[in-house]
Each structure stands twice: as C-alpha cells, then as structure tokens.
C-alpha cells in the first residue's frame, strides 16, 4: 500500500508572478517500476521549479508499463499538484515514453530527467535558457566536460567514457556525453526530428543527438554536478550491445544519405570518395568478426586467463577479417600481394590487441572483482575503437589504390 508523503518543511512556493514571461517548459520524467522513489522525487522537483524557475512549467510523469504501484502514485500526484500530469503507456521503453509525450507537447521547450534526480537541479535553468532565447536547438547535461563534478564508481565511469569515445571516433560525434539523463530541446525542432529517430529505448537520445548534429543543429552543453544512483537497475551488457547495434544502424543510414530530417541547419560534409561503398561491407564483416571473437573469448576464458583468451581470439579472427575485407570491401582478388596484406593486417591486429588488452588491464585495475559480463562489455568497446582504426589503415595503407596498381604493374596483372 502506498502512503501519502508530506512535502518537505520550508517556505511555500511563491505565487506565480503576473508579469512572468509566458513561455512553457514541459519536463518529462519517464518511469518504470519506480513507486519507491517517485513521490519524493516529483514533490522535490515540483517545489524546486515553483520556487526558482522563471518560466511556466509542467511536469509529466510518463509511466511505461510499470507493474508495481507506480501508476497509482503518479495519478495521486497528478491530483494533488497543479503543475503535474501523468500519462501511461502499455509498452516499455524510455525512448517510447519520450516520443509519446514530446510529439504531442504544446510547450515551447521539452526536457527530460531521470526520476532519481541524480543531476543537480541548479543546472536546469542554464540547460533551457539557450533554447528559450533561440540561441541553441538542443541542450544536454554533460558529466564529462570541464566544470562538472561527478560521483560514481570506476566501472560506470570507464564504460561511459569508452562509449562516448566510440561515438566520437566511429560516428564523428562532437558532443561529450550522450548518456546523461538531463536533456532539453526546442519543441518544434524535436518534433521535426522524431519521425527520423528509430530507437524506442536507451539509444533513443543518442540517436536524436546524432541526427541533430548531422543536420547542422546547435547542441548546447552544460557541465553538471551528478551523483550516481546506487539503486540503478540498468542491464549494462544488454544496454551496451543495444547501443552498438544502434550505432551500426545509424552508421548505415549516414552512408546511404538517409539520416536526414526536415529541419534547418547546415548538413555535415559527406564522406570521401569510395568510403560510402566500402563502409557497409566493412561494418558487416566487422560485426561478424566481433561476434566470432566474443564467442571465442568466452569459450577460451573457461580454460585460460582474460589476456590470453583475448589475444588468441583476436589472432584467429584477424586473419579471417583481413581476408574478407580484401575480397569484399576493397575488391581485391587473386593471390598477388595476399601475404604482404596479411602481414600488414597483422599490424592492425596488434593495434587492436594493445587497445583491447589495455582496456581489460585498466578495467581490472579500477575494479579488480569485475564480472564476466563487464569484461565482455569493455572488450566490445575497445574493439569498436580498434575496428575504426583498422578500417582507416586498410583504406589509407594496406589496400590503397596506388599500392594495388603498383602490385598489378609489377606482376603484369592479377591472377
């Protein structure tokens, strides 16, 4: 049974100022089975905004298919607090909840924050002010920029930094923190972007930011103070795999020119000649190689240590990866130059070994008792960075067209 909780003691929020500029900001709090924290968090958020926020506001609790008492708590808060409303979806997914509320919002600015309120609320006005003024199109809280203050464990710190590094290296993202649950956007902009965003879960806001950047929109970043929620129930391995699949899907859409939305801005420059044809093949081969390497790593890990298992699994898959890319990505057939290209592919393999082994070593230094699932997650992220570097080496060195022409001329043609 859920009991009422009295608001915290203190002065009552002031009455709305009749001269206040009438701009409406809607804050969405997506929840799933959060009955134990929902009431305290919403009361705190509502009181803070009523006391300090200079614009009209609405707090929307978006319950995506909770199975506990979350919905009844949300309905009671809606009845008791004039600025709070509640909506319920019959399917899970943070992205699905945000899409549902944002797409129908009549506010000038829409935002969202996690129900645990891990981010200091003093950053909220700096987050939305550039959107209301029209200076920026989207705004994000960043735990990784200078001026932020973050309290969290080494495991989550490492995973977050690796994920954002992978976004910057593989998809040329310029924002620093895709995962902080503290974001806002001009409503007209986000409603134009939403039809082109496919994800409905955790990758939703990363995809939204990548789409905005790809279409030349301005993203404002605010350093935030953030304290990790020890009660977080996020499945790290599943979320990491979903994010990697989302990145691969977005990468394919970028290559085909389909990652577009009907908004203003200056589009990002297109890829160099030939890369649009090569990258999809390389990505498919990379996914197959990564999965094969992970399977081998898990099997070998039962009989040897993590570093030996990683090295052996990489050696086996690197040979097949180089051969497959030689044939399908760069269109090289016959035996001419194959040995040299495998040797040079071994150099790229060594880079991957250094990155992945270094990542595992750092992980074990920061968290000596780390689980097997987190080991695999760190390996996936490190290999993602190594894969991008390997592609650039293959394109600019191993299978560079000039070198291939020299080999053909020296042999009098390929076999």
For the chain, the residue count is 415
Per-residue tokens: 76? 């009671």
Distances in Å between the alpha carbon of 262 and those of 101, 193, 194?
A: 20, 7, 10
Q: pLDDT by residue for the chain (415 residues), tens digit each? A: 333 434 444 444 445 444 444 799 999 999 999 999 999 999 999 999 999 999 999 999 999 999 999 999 999 999 999 999 999 999 999 999 999 999 999 999 999 999 999 999 999 999 999 999 999 999 999 998 888 988 877 777 777 887 888 788 778 889 999 989 999 999 999 999 999 999 999 899 999 999 999 999 999 999 999 888 766 666 666 777 788 888 888 888 887 778 888 886 655 555 555 666 677 777 778 778 878 888 898 899 888 888 888 888 878 888 888 888 888 888 888 788 888 888 888 787 777 667 767 777 777 777 777 777 777 777 677 766 676 777 777 877 788 777 766 555 555 544 4
Which residue, among 110, 147, 158, has the nearest Cα to 221 in the 3D structure?
Answer: 147
Pair type for strands 84-89 and 225-227: unpaired
Element (H, E) at 337: none
Residue whose tokens read 């020890």: 230
- Report the pLDDT value the prediction gives residue 285, as an integer from 0 to 100: 82
Which residue, among 76, 31, 81, 41, has the nearest Cα to 57 in the 3D structure?
Answer: 81
- Report the pLDDT value the prediction gives residue 10, as an integer from 0 to 100: 43
Sign of CA dihedral 307, 310, 315, 321: negative
CB 254 within 8 A of CB 147: no
Catalytic residue among 108, 137, 205, 243: 205
Distances in Å between the alpha carbon of 171 and those of 163, 283, 295, 342?
A: 11, 12, 26, 27
Helix axes 204-214, 236-256, angle to 10 degrees: 20
C-alpha–C-alpha distance, residues 24 and 356, integer Å: 48
C-alpha–C-alpha distance, residues 283 and 289, integer Å: 10
Classify residue 59 by burial, with Cβ atoms within 10 Å: 0-12, 13-18, 19+. buried
Which residue, among 115, 116, 181, 169, has the nearest Cα to 143 in the 3D structure?
Answer: 181
Q: What domains lie within the chain, and their CATH numbers?
A: 24-256 (3.90.550.10), 275-411 (no CATH)
C-alpha–C-alpha distance, residues 309 and 293, integer Å: 10
Does the pTM surpass 0.75? The reply is: no
- Report the pLDDT value the prediction gives residue 357, as an integer from 0 to 100: 72
Residue 205 annotated among the catalytic residues of the structure: yes
Q: Most distant CA pair in the chain: distance in Å?
A: 88
Distances in Å between the alpha carbon of 118 and those of 98, 115, 224, 317, 341?
A: 19, 8, 10, 41, 50
- Report the pLDDT value the prediction gives residue 238, as an integer from 0 to 100: 74
């Amino acid at each position: 049974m859920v009991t009422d909780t009295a608001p915290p003691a203190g002065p009552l929020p002031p009455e709305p100022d009749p001269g206040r500029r009438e701009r409406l900001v809607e804050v969405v709090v997506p929840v799933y089975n959060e009955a134990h924290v929902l009431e305290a968090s919403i009361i705190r958020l509502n009181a803070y905004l009523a006391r300090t926020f200079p614009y009209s506001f609405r707090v929307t609790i978006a319950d995506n298919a909770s199975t506990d008492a979350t919905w009844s708590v949300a309905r009671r808060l809606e009845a008791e607090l004039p600025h709070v409303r509640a909506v319920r979806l019959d399917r899970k997914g943070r992205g699905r909840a945000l899409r549902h509320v944002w797409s129908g919002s009549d506010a000038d600015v829409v935002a969202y924050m996690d129900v645990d309120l891990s981010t200091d609320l003093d950053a909220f006005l700096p987050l939305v002010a550039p959107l209301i003024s029209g200076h920026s199109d989207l705004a994000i809280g960043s735990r990784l920029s200078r001026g932020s203050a973050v309290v969290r464990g080494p495991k989550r710190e490492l995973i977050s930094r690796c994920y954002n590094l992978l976004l910057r290296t593989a998809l040329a993202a310029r924002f620093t923190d895709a995962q902080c649950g503290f974001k806002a956007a001009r409503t007209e902009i986000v409603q134009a972007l939403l039809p082109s965003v496919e994800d409905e879960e955790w990758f939703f806001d990363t995809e939204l930011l990548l789409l905005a950047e790809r279409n030349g929109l301005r993203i404002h970043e605010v350093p935030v103070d953030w304290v990790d929620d020890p009660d977080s129930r996020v499945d790290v391995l599943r979320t990491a795999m979903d994010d990697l699949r989302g990145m691969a899907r977005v990468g394919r859409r970028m290559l085909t020119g389909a990652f577009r939305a009907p908004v203003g801005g200056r589009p990002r420059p297109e890829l160099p000649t030939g890369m649009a044809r090569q990258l999809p093949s390389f990505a498919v081969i990379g996914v197959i190689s990564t999965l094969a390497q992970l399977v081998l790593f898990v099997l070998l890990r039962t009989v040897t240590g993590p570093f030996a298992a990683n090295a052996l699994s990489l050696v086996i898959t690197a040979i097949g990866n180089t051969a497959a890319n030689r044939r399908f990505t760069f269109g090289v057939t016959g035996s001419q130059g194959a040995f040299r290209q495998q040797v040079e592919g071994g150099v790229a393999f060594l880079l991957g070994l250094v990155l992945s082994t270094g990542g595992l070593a750092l992980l074990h230094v920061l968290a000596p008792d780390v689980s097997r699932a987190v080991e695999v997650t760190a390996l996936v992220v490190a290999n993602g960075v190594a894969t991008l570097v390997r592609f650039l080496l293959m394109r600019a060195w191993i299978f560079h067209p000039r070198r291939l022409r020299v080999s053909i001329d020296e042999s009098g043609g390929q076999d």
